């Protein structure tokens, strides 16, 4: 209800850069919440920097098993030339962990962009037009949503690549598999918002003025319905990493010669554990955990800061005068995302 | 079919409380509608899986392509009927499913339905164990976090919850194995039981396949201990994943109810803070936990696939991974369809339980 005027009011007050998602959240945060947000941003930044500068950071290539001095020793303990040791196959663990960040970023970018694009369009159309199209889409989305996401991804990976492929083939296959898992989530959120917004006075007035359906959907509803997207984006990015790792762990990832993938390395490391070789598994695993923690902290903080009931108390008392209606509206989406 | 689709779109997780017009009808009608909604869900999933898996080609080429000369391959494809039009095969497949015939696996030539019943119990046992761990860890910690809101304990617990979510089950499993099996040597590395125990348990009259139940029935304490020792690590690895989610859910909901007037009223009457959290504020927070538990079944089954692979726990997930490597897509399809049925049925049960507890959930 009060969403439209609030945006207008805020935009008059603050310069544009203070209204960017993460920066505005940072300014709103306080105490512990600010700590969580900053920790998350640092971890995420580290992850992105590692991915971008992987060729500079990694001492060796991801599939390199020898250099000028001859073949790398197999299963060497961390230290010396190989900072984090080597695997059974003679790969350098540190290099593969660094290169793995690049693979993960590529998959996330492709997957999340595709699912936002398709999910938002389907959600807008389904919610706005309604009728039988809406019902069919909802039943399909519910069916896919209720199903274990890893299994959906496995089925898709079989369909797309028969399970194995090159760097870009593998990245696309993993990304599309993850996309299929996420489309229902974007679809549900956007559709619910669209249905709510469709009844708002500003949509009706746009109709009266004579705006076309496409214009109403693409301007009036779209702008308002996508407010929660930064939040879903960060939460899904972390889930995308976990799904990619799960696929890789089951052997549906990317071949070790075409790219480095953390889940695949963990699978190979499983056999090492019984003989006490810990470095092949612990480091790629830690990379996954730190990345997901970073993204989740950012997402969680944004979620809490969007919800006046969960925002730090000092600010909630001083900032918004009437959290009543806005809080009640924000609550369902917050609960969905936390599940 | 049309009447099924006409039914209001199911809000299976119940997390988005949509205001529906009270269209009369009581619990009975709600259960009926909700029950009928199971079928389109399963039907859609079966259809999607069938056609998606066939886009890439027939299962025999996928499993044996390159290993057999083309003539022999064509012969086997013809014998299995995979050269017929896809829709004929589809309707035949649907007919077979209704009679409970999931086909025969290609790699080891077993009835898929027989395989499902053999390994299903192992997955069920793992899921139950993990759910127990999740509830025992998640709910009390969530209450503590809510009670100590914004204090140090809350921050630590929330970080713990995020770590639970962020750690893939196979990495958690790997760490647990390294610590407790390899370095400390306290617990077995993998499997469901020692070979001797397994033999003793399968020799039982009508075994349930759930080992601790079988061990209890036979009164064999050594076997029970062995089964328990094997079950701890997988249950913890899979359970922690869900425990983090329960923790956050309990925390959020208890914080919500702690601010309610009746809690304040209880406090003013002198009800202890402990009792306020564990009884007054906790009870209404239970409903979202039950609905989310339904969603967690799906997450848990996905996690079970990875946990079973990590610990060589011979259940559906372990078999799924094995058949995936063997490119045996008939078996994969069978397992996927069975899991779809399990998810649909548990969601139904969860919705009914939620409706029984809270009349507002019904429409």
Please determine, for residue A249, whether its predicted confidence score (pLDDT) is greater than 60.
yes
- Whether A267 has its CB under 8 Å from any CB of chain B: the answer is yes
Nearest to A296 among B52, B165, B332 (CB): B165
Q: A71 in helix, strand or coil?
A: strand
DSSP notation for A138-180: HHHHHHHHHS-HHHHHHHHHHHHHTT---HHHHHHHHHHHHHH
Instruction: Note the pLDDT tens digit of each residue in A201-222.
Output: 887 888 788 777 777 777 777 7
Please determine, for residue B134, whether its predicted confidence score (pLDDT) is greater than 50.
yes
**Max CA distance (Å), chain B:** 85
pLDDT at residue A39 in the model:
84
Please determine, for residue B304, whether its predicted confidence score (pLDDT) is greater than 70.
yes
Residue position matching structure tokens 């490391």 = A269
pLDDT at residue B207 in the model:
66
Number of Cβ atoms within 10 Å of the Cβ of B78: 12
Please determine, for residue B276, whether its predicted confidence score (pLDDT) is greater than 70.
yes
Instruction: Note the pLDDT tens digit of each residue in A259-300.
Output: 778 888 888 777 777 777 777 778 888 888 888 888 888 887
Please determine, for residue B9, whether its predicted confidence score (pLDDT) is greater than 50.
no
pLDDT at residue B159 in the model:
84
Residue-averaged pLDDT of chain A: 73
- List the end-to-end C-alpha distance of chain A, in Å, as a whole number: 26
- Whether B16 has its CB under 8 Å from any CB of chain A: the answer is yes
Query: How far is the C-alpha of B337 from the C-alpha of B187, rounded, in Å?
Result: 35
Which of A37, A130, A155, A180 would best serve as a mutation to test chain B binding (most B beta carbons within 10 A)? A155
- Whether B238 has its CB under 8 Å from any CB of chain A: the answer is no
Nearest to B155 among A32, A269, A273 (CB): A32
pLDDT at residue A317 in the model:
42
Instruction: Note the pLDDT tens digit of each residue in B142-179.
Output: 888 888 877 788 888 888 888 888 888 888 888 888 88
- Quickly state the pLDDT bin for B329 (edges 50, 70, 90): confident
**φ, ψ dihedrals at A67, nearest 5°:** -135, -160
Report chain B residues whose CB lies below 8 A from the CB of A292. Answer: 165-167
Residues within 8 A of A (CB atoms), B 197-236 only: none
pLDDT at residue A253 in the model:
64
Query: How far is the C-alpha of B11 from the C-alpha of A191, rounded, in Å?
Result: 13
Instruction: Note the pLDDT tens digit of each residue in A156-166.
Output: 777 776 545 55
Q: What's the pTM?
A: 0.76
DSSP notation for B80-142: HTTTS-HHHHHHHHHHHHHTT---B-SSS--BHHHHHHHHHHHHHHHHHHHHHHHHHHHHHHH
Contact by Cβ (8 Å): B124, B192: no
Q: Chain B residue closest to A251 (CA)? A: B325
Higher confidence at residue A235 or residue A134? Answer: A134
Q: Report the pLDDT averaged over residues B180-184.
A: 76
- Quickly state the pLDDT bin for A88 (edges 50, 70, 90): low
pLDDT at residue B18 in the model:
43
Residue position matching structure tokens 């002198």 = B270
pLDDT at residue A30 in the model:
67
Q: Chain A residue closest to B319 (CA)? A: A250
pLDDT at residue B78 in the model:
74
**φ, ψ dihedrals at A70, nearest 5°:** 105, -170
Query: How far is the C-alpha of A61 from the C-alpha of A259, rounded, in Å?
Result: 9
Select from B221, B224, B234, B223 the least CA-distant residue to B191. B234
Instruction: Note the pLDDT tens digit of each residue in A94-103.
Output: 888 888 888 8
pLDDT at residue B7 in the model:
36
Residue-averaged pLDDT of chain B: 75
pLDDT at residue A323 in the model:
38
Instruction: Note the pLDDT tens digit of each residue in B14-72.
Output: 444 444 444 445 777 778 887 887 887 788 878 888 887 777 666 777 666 666 777 77
Report chain B residues whose CB lies below 8 A from the CB of A143. Answer: 40-41, 44-45, 48
Higher confidence at residue B63 or residue A124? Answer: A124
Which of A35, A137, A139 would best serve as a mutation to test chain B binding (most B beta carbons within 10 A)? A139
Q: Calculate the CA A236 to chain-centre distance.
A: 3
Cβ–Cβ gap B9/A142 under 8 Å: yes
Q: What percent of chain A has pLDDT over 90?
A: 0
Number of Cβ atoms within 10 Å of the Cβ of B203: 10
pLDDT at residue A336 in the model:
37
Q: Report the pLDDT averaged over residues A12-23.
A: 64
- Quickly state the pLDDT bin for A337 (edges 50, 70, 90): very low
């Amino acid at each position: 209800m009060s969403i439209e005027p609030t945006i207008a009011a805020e935009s008059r007050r603050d310069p544009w850069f203070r209204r960017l998602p993460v920066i505005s959240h940072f300014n709103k945060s306080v105490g512990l919440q600010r700590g969580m947000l900053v920790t998350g941003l640092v971890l995420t930044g580290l992850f992105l920097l590692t991915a971008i500068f992987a060729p500079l950071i990694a001492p060796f290539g991801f599939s390199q098993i020898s250099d000028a001095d001859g073949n790398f020793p197999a299963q060497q303990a961390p230290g010396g030339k190989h900072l984090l040791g080597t695997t059974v196959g003679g790969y350098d663990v540190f290099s593969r962990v660094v290169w793995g960040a690049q693979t993960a970023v590529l998959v996330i970018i492709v997957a999340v962009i595709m699912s936002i694009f398709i999910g938002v369009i389907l959600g807008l159309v389904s919610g706005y037009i309604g009728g039988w199209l809406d019902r069919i889409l909802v039943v399909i989305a519910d069916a896919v949503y209720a199903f274990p996401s890893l299994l959906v991804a496995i089925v898709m990976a079989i369909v797309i690549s028969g399970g194995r492929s090159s760097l870009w083939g593998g990245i696309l296959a993993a990304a599309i598999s993850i996309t299929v898992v996420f489309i229902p989530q974007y679809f549900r959120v956007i559709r619910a918002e669209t249905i709510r917004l469709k009844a708002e006075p500003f949509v009706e007035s746009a109709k009266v003025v004579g705006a076309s359906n496409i214009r109403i959907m693409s301007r009036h509803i779209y702008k308002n319905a996508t407010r929660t997207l930064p939040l879903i984006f960060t939460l899904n990015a972390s889930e995308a990493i976990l799904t990619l790792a799960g696929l890789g762990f089951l052997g549906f990832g990317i071949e070790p010669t075409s790219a480095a993938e953390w889940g695949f390395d963990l699978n190979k490391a499983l056999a090492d554990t019984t003989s006490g070789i810990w470095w092949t598994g612990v480091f790629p695993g830690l990379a996954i955990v730190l990345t997901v923690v970073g993204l989740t902290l950012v997402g969680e903080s944004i979620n809490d800061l969007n919800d006046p009931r969960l925002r730090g108390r000092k600010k909630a008392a001083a900032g918004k005068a009437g959290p009543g209606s806005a809080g009640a509206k924000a609550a369902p989406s917050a609960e969905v995302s936390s599940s | 079919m049309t009447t099924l689709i006409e039914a209001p779109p199911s809000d299976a997780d119940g997390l988005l409380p949509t205001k529906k017009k009270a269209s009369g009808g009581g619990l009975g009608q709600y259960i009926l509608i909700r029950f009928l909604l199971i079928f389109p869900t399963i039907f859609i999933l079966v259809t999607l899986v069938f056609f998606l898996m066939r886009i890439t080609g027939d299962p025999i080429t996928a499993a044996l392509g390159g290993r057999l000369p083309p003539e022999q391959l064509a012969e086997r494809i013809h014998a299995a009927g995979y050269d017929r039009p896809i829709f004929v095969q589809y309707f035949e497949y649907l007919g077979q499913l209704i009679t409970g015939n999931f086909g025969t696996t290609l790699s080891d030539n077993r009835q898929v339905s027989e395989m499902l019943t053999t390994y299903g119990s192992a997955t069920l046992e793992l899921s139950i164990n993990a759910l127990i761990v999740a509830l025992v860890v998640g709910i009390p910690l969530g209450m503590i976090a809510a009670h100590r809101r914004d204090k140090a304990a809350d921050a630590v617990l929330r970080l713990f919850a995020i770590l639970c979510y962020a750690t893939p089950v196979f990495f958690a499993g790997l760490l647990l194995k390294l610590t407790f099996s390899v370095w400390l040597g306290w617990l077995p590395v993998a499997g469901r039981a020692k070979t001797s125990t397994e033999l003793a348990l399968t020799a039982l009259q009508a075994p349930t396949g759930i080992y601790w139940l079988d061990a209890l029935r036979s009164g064999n304490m050594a076997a029970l201990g062995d089964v328990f020792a094997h079950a701890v690590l997988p249950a913890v690895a899979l359970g922690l994943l869900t425990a983090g989610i329960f923790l956050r859910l309990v925390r959020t909901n208890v914080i919500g109810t702690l601010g309610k007037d009746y809690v304040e009223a209880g406090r003013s009457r002198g009800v202890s803070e402990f009792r306020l959290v564990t009884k007054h504020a906790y009870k209404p927070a239970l409903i979202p936990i039950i609905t989310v538990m339904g969603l967690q079944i799906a997450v848990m089954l996905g996690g079970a696939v990875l946990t079973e692979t990590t610990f060589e726990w011979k259940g559906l997930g372990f078999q799924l991974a094995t058949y995936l490597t063997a490119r045996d897509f008939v078996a994969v399809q069978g397992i996927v369809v069975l899991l779809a049925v399990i998810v649909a049925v548990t969601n139904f049960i969860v919705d009914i339980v939620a409706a029984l507890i809270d009349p507002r959930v019904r429409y």
